[in-house]
Amino acid sequence: MTNSTFDIIVIGGGPGGYVAAIRAAQLGFKVAVIEKHSNLGGTCLNVGCIPSKALLYSTELYHTIAHKAASNGIIVKGLSPDLPALMTKKNQVVDQLRNGIKALLKANKIDVIHASAQIISPTQVKAGNNVLNTKNIIIATGSQVIELPFLKFDGKIVVSSDDAIAFDSIPEKIVVVGAGAIGLELGSVWSRLGSDVTIVELLPRVAITFDHEISKMAERIFKKQGIKFELDAKVTGIKTKAKTTILTAEKAGKELEFPADKIIVCVGRKPFTEGLGLENLGIERDKQGRIVTDNHFKTNVPGIFAIGDVTDGPMLAHKAEEEGVALAELIAGKSGHVNYTIIPNVIYTDPELASVGISEQEAKEQGLQVKIGKFPFAANGRALASDASEGMVKVIADAKNDKLLGVQIIGRHASELIAPAVAHMEYGGSAEDLARTIAAHPTLAETLKEAALALDGRAIHAI
Ligand X SMILES: Cc1cc2nc3c(=O)[nH]c(=O)nc-3n(C[C@H](O)[C@H](O)[C@H](O)COP(=O)(O)OP(=O)(O)OC[C@H]3O[C@@H](n4cnc5c(N)ncnc54)[C@H](O)[C@@H]3O)c2cc1C
Q: What are phi and psi of 186, to 5 degrees?
A: -70, -35
Smallest distance, ligand X to C-beta of residue 225, A: 20
Catalytic residue among 37, 67, 296, 441: 441
DSSP 8-state code for residue 332: T
Binding residue for ligand X (CB under 6 A) from 27, 30, 36, 437?
36
Q: Which among 82-90, 137-145, 200-208, 384-392 is the span making contact with ligand X, rule CB under 6 A?
A: 137-145
Binding residue for ligand X (CB under 6 A) from 43, 134, 136, 293?
43
Examine residue 48 and tell whether it contacts ligand X (CB under 6 A).
yes
Distance from chain centroid for Cα 284: 26
Residue 146: which residues within 8 A CB-CB, separation 6 or more?
A: 265, 267, 268, 269, 270
Q: Are 350 and 61 in contact (CB under 8 A)?
A: no
Among residues 49 and 235, whose Cβ is nearest to ligand X? 49
Binding residue for ligand X (CB under 6 A) from 34, 233, 256, 353?
34
d(CA 27, CA 311): 24
- Opening angle at CA 381, ends 376 and 384, nearest 5: 75
Examine residue 44 and tell whether it contacts ligand X (CB under 6 A).
yes
Q: Which among 214-222, 232-240, 272-280, 448-456 is the span making contact with ligand X, rule CB under 6 A?
A: 272-280
> 181-192 vs 212-224: helix axis angle to the nearest 10?
20
Binding residue for ligand X (CB under 6 A) from 6, 17, 210, 380?
17
SS3 10: strand
Examine residue 264 and tell whether it contacts ligand X (CB under 6 A).
no
Strands (E), 140-213: 143-145, 158-159, 173-177, 196-200
Contacts (CB under 6 A) with ligand X, residues 358-417: none
Smallest distance, ligand X to C-beta of residue 405, A: 22
Among residues 347 and 451, whose Cβ is nearest to ligand X? 347
Examine residue 105 and tell whether it contacts ligand X (CB under 6 A).
no
Q: Are 111 and 237 in contact (CB under 8 A)?
A: no
Examine residue 140 and tell whether it contacts ligand X (CB under 6 A).
yes
Binding residue for ligand X (CB under 6 A) from 6, 9, 10, 14?
14
Examine residue 195 and tell whether it contacts ligand X (CB under 6 A).
no
Among residues 263 and 370, whose Cβ is nearest to ligand X? 263
Peptide bond into 442 cis (omega under 30): yes
Q: What are phi and psi of 257, to 5 degrees?
A: -125, 135
Could you tell me how many residues of this chain bind ligand X (CB under 6 A)? 37
d(CA 122, CA 112): 20
Q: What are phi and psi of 259, to 5 degrees?
A: -60, 140
Sign of CA dihedral 322, 327, 329, 333: positive
Among residues 265 and 434, whose Cβ is nearest to ligand X? 265
Examine residue 182 and tell whether it contacts ligand X (CB under 6 A).
yes
Examine residue 15 and tell whether it contacts ligand X (CB under 6 A).
yes
Q: How far apart are the first and last CA of the chain?
A: 70
Peptide bond into 351 cis (omega under 30): yes
Examine residue 356 and tell whether it contacts ligand X (CB under 6 A).
no
Among candidates 463, 362, 345, which has minimal Cα distance to 415? 345
Q: Are 246 and 262 in contact (CB under 8 A)?
A: no
Examine residue 315 and tell whether it contacts ligand X (CB under 6 A).
yes
Among residues 144 and 437, whose Cβ is nearest to ligand X? 144
Examine residue 178 and tell whether it contacts ligand X (CB under 6 A).
no
Binding residue for ligand X (CB under 6 A) from 261, 309, 390, 402?
309
Among residues 35 and 211, whose Cβ is nearest to ligand X? 35
Q: Are 325 and 297 in contact (CB under 8 A)?
A: no
Has 67 been annotated as catalytic?
Answer: no
Among residues 197 and 453, whose Cβ is nearest to ligand X? 197
Note the residues at the interface with ligand X (CB under 6 A).
11-17, 34-37, 42-44, 47-49, 52, 116-117, 140-143, 161, 182, 272, 275-276, 308-309, 315-318, 320, 348
So which residues are the catalytic ones?
441
